[in-house]
Each structure stands twice: as C-alpha cells, then as structure tokens.
Structure 1
C-alpha cells in the first residue's frame, strides 16, 4: 500500500496550487475531482446551501490503494465545495485515513472539516486552512509543507493544525 495521495478540487486554481506544492515537495501522486456538468453561480449557491452532491469526474490513482488521502478543496459559502462533497460521499469506503486542507477567502473551514467527518463517520486525522492570499503570495507555503511533512513522517494520528480556522481582517 502506498503512503499518501493528494486529491483536489479546484475551480479557480488555488486549491490545485496547494495540492501541486504538496505533491512536488513530497513526491506524492495527485488526483483531481472535476464537475461532470456545467455549473453556474445560482446552481453553486443552491448546491452549497442544500448540501447537494452533484455528478463528478475523478482522474487519478485509486484512493483505496493509499494509507492516507489528503483532500484539498475550496470553501463555498462557508461549506465544503460541492464536488469534493460528492467525492467523499462516493468514495468513503476507500478513504480510511483522511487529512483535509481547505482554501478560502475568509472562513468556513471548520464547517468543511465537520462535514468531512460526518460523511466519513470519523474525523480527519489532520486539517488545515489557508487563505487564498496566503497561497498566492507564498506566505502560507512553509505551513503547507510542514503539514505535509507531519503526515509523511507520522504513522499515527496527526493532531489538527493550530490555525484550523482563519478570518480575513476587516477591510
């Protein structure tokens, strides 16, 4: 069984950037979740509010072949992005040990961590949240790579990151 697989969903590219940084630094493979259908703003809003699970496509290695799967997804309306919600629900039996990275503009990461825990029937072994600007300007890179280092070096449960939820300063 392989060690770590990173699975991301990214519409704007921010979550993909985080996933690619983890993969390139640690030599981990990556899988991607994509929308199977065209999306629009109203549909995304309704899907997030109603916690719908849209049809998705997954391209990547079998998650069941890995000890740990790191999910990297954005927060939409203070909730887990709907395509990642679908992925977790569809693949829950293959996801034995999960860590979660949330990317966001302002908040909602704790909601996403709780939703993943609910869908899996167990909490993630580790979680972390990153503001979009931290990933764009590189200020979050060290923390992101340290998160990956902790997963790679640990064969036991990794404690959640201290900054599980961050709030952007008021403008």
Structure 2
C-alpha cells in the first residue's frame, strides 16, 4: 500500500475544507500551499485574474512533506477564471518531477475544471490517475460529501496495488 499526500491551496477556505475532510476520511497527510503576498481586497482579486489569464507563477511557500515520499498525491485547488489557481500552478511546476501519480480535485464557481486538469497535465507531462470537481455551492451545502467519499475510496483502491503492477498496467509497452 502506498502513502497518500493531499496538497491544497485555498484562498477562501473552501479548498482547505475539502482537503481536510478528505484527510479525515482516509487518515492521509495534508500539505498546504501559502502565498507570500496577500490576495485581500480589490488588488488581490485583480492579481487572481491576471495570474490566471497570463498563467503566472506567483511566489509560494509549501508547508508539508515532500511529494516524492508518497505513492500518490491528491491536488486540491480552486479554479480562477476557468483556469488553475496561480499558487497551485507554482506548486505543480516546482514539484512536477515528484508528481508521478497524482489525482486532482477542482473547486469552482461553476466551470473550468477540465481546463485546470489539462494544465496540470501539460506541466507534469502526464494525466492524473483520477480527477473530480465540486462547486463552492456543493461544498457549502454539504451535497459534495458522498461524491468526495467515493473519490477517496477510488484513490484508496488505486494505492492498494503494488507500484510495479500499476506501472505495467498503465504502460503502453504492456499491451
């Protein structure tokens, strides 16, 4: 069984809430991304917009264990302007060599999750094992809970397989 790390960036607290719930369900380790500059107020909002549109990599601090020590990393990130939030983009770019097996949970107002998953795939050079998305409204009213539990179970099942078996299973050479 491989260990799982959940890494989140949360500007409003919604992504952090989901990440903590996921860790509580499975007993997984949590890592948090924080920005070195505040996003409060109108200027902070404009920085969110510009970071998304220009795909910028803002300066971050990461508080958690190295992703390389885990067999699976679950990235929990908000969507800004139909794109991956800048701080998570910075994390993925910094640790892309350590993200061999990862899953993605996107938190959004209404849309944009496929764009974020595709962007993470472009940065890392491969697709996530699993991905899902929740709206902020689903998190607020609690209706995301059953889907999160099913997602956690699916991740847990993928980590039950030995590393070498799973690698061969997904390899194009194994066919």
Partner of 2:14: 14
- Does the aligned pair in 2 maintain the 1:35–1:83 contact within 8 Å? yes
Structure number with higher helix proportion: 2
Aligned pairs for 1:37-76 within 5 A: 37-39=37-39, 40-76=44-80
Q: Give unpaired runs (5+ residues) of structure 1.
A: 158-171
1:32 aligns with 2:36: no
Q: CA deviation at 1:68?
A: 0.4
1:99 aligns with 2:103: yes
Q: Once superposed, what is the RMSD of the aligned Cα atoms? A: 1.3
Q: How big is each residue's C-alpha offset from its partner over 1:43-99, in whole Å with a ceiling of 9 and x where there is no partner?
A: 221111000001000001111100000000000000000000000000001111010
Q: CA deviation at 1:2?
A: 4.7
Q: C-alpha separation between the residues in 2 aligned to 1:42 and 1:105?
A: 17
TM-score, normalising length from structure 2?
0.86
**What's the secondary structure of 1:54's corresponding residue?**
coil
- Does the aligned pair in 2 maintain the 1:75–1:104 contact within 8 Å? yes
- Does the aligned pair in 2 maintain the 1:88–1:120 contact within 8 Å? yes
Pairs aligned (count): 157
Q: C-alpha separation between the residues in 2 aligned to 1:2 and 1:122?
A: 20
Q: Give unpaired runs (5+ residues) of structure 2.
A: 168-175
Comparing 102-111 with 35-44, which one deviates more in the overlay?
A: 35-44
1:115 aligns with 2:119: yes
TM-score, normalising length from structure 1?
0.88
Structure of greater Rg = 2
- Does the aligned pair in 2 maintain the 1:92–1:119 contact within 8 Å? yes
Decide which of 142, 148, 153 is 1:144's aligned counterpart. Answer: 148
List structure 1 runs of 4+ shifted beyond 3 angstroms: none
Q: CA deviation at 1:38?
A: 2.6
Q: C-alpha separation between the residues in 2 aligned to 1:116 and 1:106?
A: 19
Q: C-alpha separation between the residues in 1 aligned to 2:46 and 2:26?
A: 38
Change (3 A) 1:2 1:61: farther
